[in-house]
Structure 1
Amino acid sequence: MSVLIKPVISEKANEIAEKRNRYTFLVDTKSNKSEIKYAVEQAYGVSVVAVRTLISAPVVKSKYTKTGLQVGKTNKLKKAMVDIQEGQTIDVFGNI
């Protein structure tokens, strides 16, 4: 199973990448910081300084229909913000 799922491409993530040299990835929910660091170093050939992780809870939504109350939820997501060494960059848009 791959630790890195995909890079997060948003206005906020791109701004942080330009200003602070910090890139954001969606990662496997069972991975830890050392696995994420190793995966980024192997995939992109950069040296990682620090890894920050956060887990976003599933969103529960409900709606009323003819058949009754329908309840659904999204999946739990884990994001990792990776600081890389000064002077190095990751080409996020080259893999699209």
Structure 2
Amino acid sequence: MRDPEDVVIQPHISERAMQDIEEENWYTFKVIMNANKPEIKRAIEELFEVKVNKVTTCRMPSKKRRMGVHEGTRPEWKKARVKLAEGDRIEIFEGM
């Protein structure tokens, strides 16, 4: 079992993520690549003291970047969307 702080890297903020929070109570996080759904659920419940109903994950592919003659890549990362129980909220997303 991993420590919850090791599983969740950071919240993922985007227009779509903010819309999902307001309309459907889905929260989006960046998580470590080898985390599974039960680990993510346990980590979110322990870190934020909320009840998680559903977890969905997807791997976001790496992207090539080019700046003049220099070429590089953005790293691959894993996104987890978490559906909270009715009435539960995560305060770090409020006011964004």
Distance in 2, Cα, partners of 1:90 & 1:19: 14
Residue 17 (structure 1) aligns with: 21
Task: Provide the aligned C-alpha RMSD in A.
Answer: 1.7
Which residue type is aligned with residue 8 of structure 1? H
Report % sequence identity: 37
Distance in 1, Cα, partners of 2:20 & 2:76: 23
Does 2:89 match 1:89? Answer: yes
Based on CA coordinates, which of the two structures has the bigger radius of gyration? Answer: 1
Q: Cα distance, 1:73 vs. partner? A: 1.1
Q: For residues 11-70 of structure 1, what are the alpha-carbon distances to aligned partners after superposition, in whole Å with 9 as ceiling and x for unaligned?
A: 2111101110110000001100010000000000001000000111111235663xxxx4
Distance in 2, Cα, partners of 1:93 & 1:86: 16
Question: Which runs of 5 or more structure 1 residues have no equivalent in the other structure?
Answer: none
Residue 77 (structure 1) aligns with: 77
Question: Which runs of 5 or more structure 2 residues have no equivalent in the other structure?
Answer: none
Which residue type is aligned with residue 81 of structure 1? R
TM-score after normalising by structure 1? 0.84
Q: Cα distance, 1:10 vs. partner? A: 1.9
Which of 7, 32, 42 is residue 36 of structure 2 equivalent to? 32
Distance in 1, Cα, partners of 2:88 & 2:28: 15
Residue 56 (structure 1) aligns with: 60
TM-score after normalising by structure 2? 0.84
Question: Segments of 4+ in structure 1 off by > 4 A?
Answer: none
